[in-house]
Amino acid sequence: MSHKGPAAESDKRSLRREFLAVRNGLTADDVSEAAMSLAERALAMPEVARAHAVAAYVSVGAEPGTLALLDALRARGVRVLLPALLPDNDLDWGAYTGEGSLTRVRHGGGRMALFEPAGERLGPDAVTEADVVLLPGLAVDARGMRLGRGGGSYDRVLARLERAGARPALLVLLYDFEVVARVPEEPHDRPVDAVVTPSGVRRFR
């Protein structure tokens, strides 16, 4: 079965449901243990170790945890940028200066709550200054193709980076079981450079 074209979007929808169902079965301990391992693995990567600015996001629910990593980056003096979702699904950015700098914002008529930077908005182009961009995802395949959440926000981020000629390292943080043989792709999809899981780092190009 071809995974390109219109069929790819419905394949993606059913895959998203499957991966989310597995995540929702994880315990709070599973999630916090994985988050510590993810932070350790990511911090040891040369591109993260030498980064001056990292664009990241705050994990919610059973998503692979990012807060331990964000705090460790800040402690190293790295500028951490976090997204704020705009009404058109694009992303604005603000600086992370600790958990006190976050505010809980409801989107989609209250269906989805995200933690966003409470301070000054830096504009959608702020992401082009990052040395490393962490992309949320539900799975990645052997080619580095990422299955996103389906909102399209990060497709816009990747297009913006490309237009600006910016070449940050693109990383996705996942659980081990979310690295799969193949995910469906559409023409606009772009591969990531590496996946970080609790058991290690896998590079794609």
Please check whether residue 161 is in contact with residue 128, taking contact to mean a CB–CB distance below 8 angstroms.
yes
180 inside domain: yes
Q: Tokens 């659980």, residue? A: 175
- The pLDDT score that the predictor gives to residue 3 is 47
Percent share of the chain, pLDDT over 70: 97
Confidence of residue 183 (pLDDT cuts 50, 70, 90): very high
Q: Given a cut of 50, is residue 162 above it in pLDDT?
A: yes
Q: Is the model's pLDDT at 62 over the cut of 80?
A: yes
More confident residue, 5 or 7: 7
Q: Does residue 60 lie in a domain region?
A: yes
pLDDT value of residue 1 = 38
Please check whether residue 166 lies inside any domain of the structure.
yes
Calpha distance 17→51 (Å, rounded): 34
Task: Give the Cβ contact number of residue 143 at 10 Å.
Answer: 13
Kindly state whether residue 1 falls inside one of the protein's structural domains.
Answer: no
The answer to whether 38 touches 69, Cβ cutoff 8 Å, is yes
User: What's the domain count of the chain?
Assistant: 1
Does any domain span residue 168?
Answer: yes
Domain boundaries, position 171: 6-203
Instruction: Tell me the C-alpha to C-alpha distance, in Å, between residue 145 and each of 82, 85, 170.
Output: 23, 23, 11
In a domain, residue 37? The reply is: yes
pLDDT score for 171: 98
**CATH code for the domain in which residue 72 is found:** 3.40.50.10420
Q: Which residues contact 75 (CB under 8 A, 6 or more apart)?
A: none
Tell me 179's DSSP state. Answer: B
User: Mean of the pLDDT values across residues 166-172?
Assistant: 97
Q: Which of 40-44, 96-100, 140-144, 177-181 has the lowest mean pLDDT?
A: 96-100
Taking only the tens place, the pLDDT of each residue in 75-132 is 999 999 999 999 999 999 999 998 889 999 998 777 778 999 999 999 999 999 999 9
**How large a percentage of the chain has pLDDT more than 90?**
80
Antiparallel, parallel or unpaired: β 79-85 and 91-95: antiparallel
Average pLDDT, the chain: 92
Pairing verdict, β 132-135 and 53-55:
parallel
Q: Could you tell me the sign of the dihedral formed by the alpha carbons of 113, 116, 120, 124, in that order?
A: negative
pTM for the full predicted model: 0.92
What is the side-by-side order of every strand in the sheet holding 132-135?
A: 91-95, 79-85, 53-55, 132-135, 169-173, 194-197, 200-203
What does the alpha-carbon distance between residue 58 and residue 153 come to, in Å, rounded to a whole number?
Answer: 15
- The per-residue pLDDT for 2 is 40
